[in-house]
Amino acid sequence: MTEEALVIACIRNDANAQQELYARYSPKMLALCYRYARNREDAEDMLQEGFIKVFTQISQFRHTGTLEGWIRRIMVHTCINILKKNRKFSDSMDLIHASGIAANEDTIPSILQAKQVVECIRMLPLGYRTVLNLYAIEGYSHKEIGKMLDIGESTSRSQYTRAKAVLEEILLRKGLMPAPSVGQTNVML
């Protein structure tokens, strides 16, 4: 079924079309939710709530971009809203985890597998992880992130810089990244 036909059928509440849409996009969206959640159960809850929004708002899809991109935006906003609603995000925005850490710039060695990097990102404090995901992975600007999370643009930049530094520290500690030479850095997101 084409994307357009799938959307039209979902607008008509066709259960088979809804099932197909879910089957087509849920694996990628679960991976997205997992980056924001503390565990798989929370990610599945975020996914469920996100797809409820997708199905209730599907008539608003205007075909100006991809359906996947539209669903992704809904999922990201759902994850952020759940974090904010549960106060998990605001409680984790403290700077305690970042004292004395300097950010480094470079690339993560290509030998790292994506799963290992994701697991290391998941080890970040929630506030850092959220800003890192939104900026480096989802492509939102710090201004947009600030509005989404009810924080200042400079706070978003600061959280992102600290997130990169803590991520590098985790990667180094796990032996997943070589130690930088003097004046060299390793993590660039």
147-178 pLDDT, tens digit per residue, is 999 999 999 999 999 999 999 999 888 877 77
Instruction: State the fold for domain 94-173.
Output: Arc Repressor Mutant, subunit A (1.10.10)
- As a whole number of angstroms, the distance between CA 164 and CA 173 comes to 14
**What is 112-136 written as a DSSP string?**
S-HHHHHHHHHTS-HHHHHHHIIII
Give helix 40-57 / helix 67-85 axis angle, nearest 10°: 120
Instruction: Tell me the C-alpha distance between 167 and 55, whole Å.
Output: 36
For residue 162, what are the contacts with CB-CB under 8 A and spacing of at least 6? 95, 97, 98, 101, 103, 128
Average pLDDT on 36-62 reads 95
Tell me, yes or no, if the two domains 3-86 and 94-173 fold the same way. Answer: no
In words, the CATH class of domain 3-86 is mainly alpha
Asked if residue 61 has pLDDT above 90, the reply is: yes
State the pLDDT at residue 176: 72
pLDDT at 81: 93
> Does residue 95 carry a pLDDT above 70?
no
Predicted TM-score (pTM) of this structure:
0.73
Quote the tokens at residue 22: 């879910």
pLDDT of residue 1: 87
Cα angle: 146, vertex 53, 122; to 5 degrees: 50
Name the residue ranges covered by the structural domains of the chain.
Answer: 3-86, 94-173
The pLDDT of residue 112 is 42
Residues 6+ apart with CB under 8 A from 64: none
**Mean pLDDT over residues 29-47, rounded?**
93
